[in-house]
A and B are shown apart, each in its own frame.
Chain A
């Protein structure tokens, strides 16, 4: 007997309703059997495919470890959480929702800082003057660090921020932030602006799988059927 195909999906937040809608339009209705706050879901009439409700940012690593077979979450989270994704993960389908950009934002009144070169300048003078490094608050430490390495930026320091990052500057926790934005509204309302060349990643929701799992399950009918339904090739 083949075991069930387990797919991790976000348990709450912005993505959740789009995910439900996406499955519904692909003949996979998500139904709730248990209590309102119970984290159990099933696909209607499908017992061979098991949705697993999880924190959106935990999904990539659980797929990487093989605890679940497939995952659906933001690309930003996949790339951030699984550093060797190119070797261990297969991206199955990019979805046309959950669009968001990982960007660098800074106070709007820094009128002389508009590019990474300007930021590098400021970081250097700040360090020289105060012997402190310019602080960048972000939830995406790995992506930001990689971006700065390729752009040859130094003299900065990453401060971890697990949420409400847009407020980090006003609260004195950081000088600059790197965060996800879809409309830019939160940034504007917090008097922040974007760097001209500070786009780190264009993200959207994506379905991906553990590479080993896909290779070992080439003849798994449930998996094949699921992939056909969600429209991968």
Chain B
């Protein structure tokens, strides 16, 4: 017999009646919050996505070949297509949502189907001042949708670690390298070790021994950024302390303040977090039951750079039922002329909602 699905493919048995009811419920919530439904293409141009995500994209997404259009990708999420739609619309701010399938390659051991039904929404804000308000708005919207489900909320804020790195008394080169690698914990750890060790200089020199005649050694030593301003032990342990912060959301600002010792940029990030926490409290969020982890969201998608959140169900093998965050620098990269503009969004796995 002819089979439509390949052998071993994980099936997403969806109860269509329940799904319809879920959809209607969510659409009503979106309508009430003045979100507009948009339709975005399923097939995207691979070269743009590859430029943003790099070769890792091929491990996550389905790429296709097309002799006319060039390489195409089946959308792995809604964030980028909705962002592109927004940039093409000429608007200054917007609240969009989109419902449909996304496709992601899964590991052999994963129970997650490669074709998933998701709803994604994105808020685009035009000025910096609105950010915290939008963050809270987006978060409250997700909690509203998930109200009837038993979920555990985890939040994070990538600005905390980034601003802590900015406080370091070391070269810009080192700070940038660390900031660039906050998503890669192993490399981050290795870099901190490397940058706090001035002995590395000598090892490097011996490698260069052969090239004496070109006097390359001299020029590299003069510019060698690895050897300048080693990170001090206290600074290193400061970063390590910040990384370890894992508490309830309500306690997080207090704990972070006790580490900060009044450093400016870091304090600013904590202030933002505190503002956000206060607004969430006003929105009836239980701050005790909501977790906060400085490193939350740092192993998954790279484009988040501010407030991040995820909602986990009891079954730990299932991925977060909803996940989202702020991605201002991605916006800046793609819309070079719009200063201060940023975005926050989230996806909800609508097909998993009926399984919990």
Contacts and interface: CB of A to CB of B under 8 A. Distances in A.
Nearest to B220: A112
B184 A152 contact: yes
A148 interface: yes
Interface of B: 50-51, 54-56, 58-59, 108, 177, 180-181, 184, 186-187, 190-191, 194, 207-208, 211, 214, 216, 220, 302
Contact of B181 (A84, A146, A149, A152): A152
Nearest to A116: B187
Contacts of A157: 50, 54-55
A154 B186 CA distance: 14
16 contacts: A84-B108, A87-B108, A111-B216, A112-B220, A114-B207, A117-B190, A117-B191, A133-B51, A146-B59, A148-B55, A149-B59, A154-B56, A154-B184, A155-B54, A156-B54, A158-B55
A111 B220 CA distance: 9
A128 to B, nearest CB: 9
Task: Summarize A's interface: helix, strand, loop or mixed.
Answer: mixed
A4 interface: no
Given A111-B216, A117-B194, A145 B184 contact: no
Contacts of B58: 145
A93 interface: no
Contact of B180 (A114, A124, A133, A156): A124
B200 to A, nearest CB: 11
Contacts of B184: 152, 154
A62 interface: no
A126 to B, nearest CB: 13
Nearest to B190: A117
Q: Which 10 A-B pairs have the closest CB atoms?
A: A152-B184, A152-B187, A111-B216, A154-B54, A111-B211, A145-B55, A112-B220, A158-B55, A114-B207, A152-B186
B116 to A, nearest CB: 21
A133 B177 contact: no
Contacts of A155: 54
A20 interface: no
A107 B179 CA distance: 29
Given A148-B55, A154-B302, 17 more contacts: A87-B108, A112-B220, A114-B207, A117-B191, A117-B194, A120-B187, A121-B177, A133-B54, A145-B58, A149-B56, A149-B59, A152-B181, A154-B56, A155-B54, A156-B54, A157-B50, A157-B54
A163 B181 CA distance: 34
A111 B208 contact: yes
A145 B54 CA distance: 10
A15 B112 CA distance: 42
Nearest to B53: A154
B189 to A, nearest CB: 11
B311 to A, nearest CB: 27
Nearest to B188: A152
Contacts of B177: 121, 124
Contacts of A146: 59
Nearest to A83: B108
Interface in A83-118: 84, 87, 111-112, 114, 117
B83 to A, nearest CB: 19
B203 to A, nearest CB: 10
B254 to A, nearest CB: 33
A85 B11 CA distance: 23
A117 B184 CA distance: 13
A87 B59 CA distance: 18
A58 to B, nearest CB: 19
A20 B304 CA distance: 56
Contacts of A121: 177
Nearest to B177: A121
A157 B211 CA distance: 30
A193 B59 CA distance: 29
A117 B177 CA distance: 10
Contacts of B302: 154
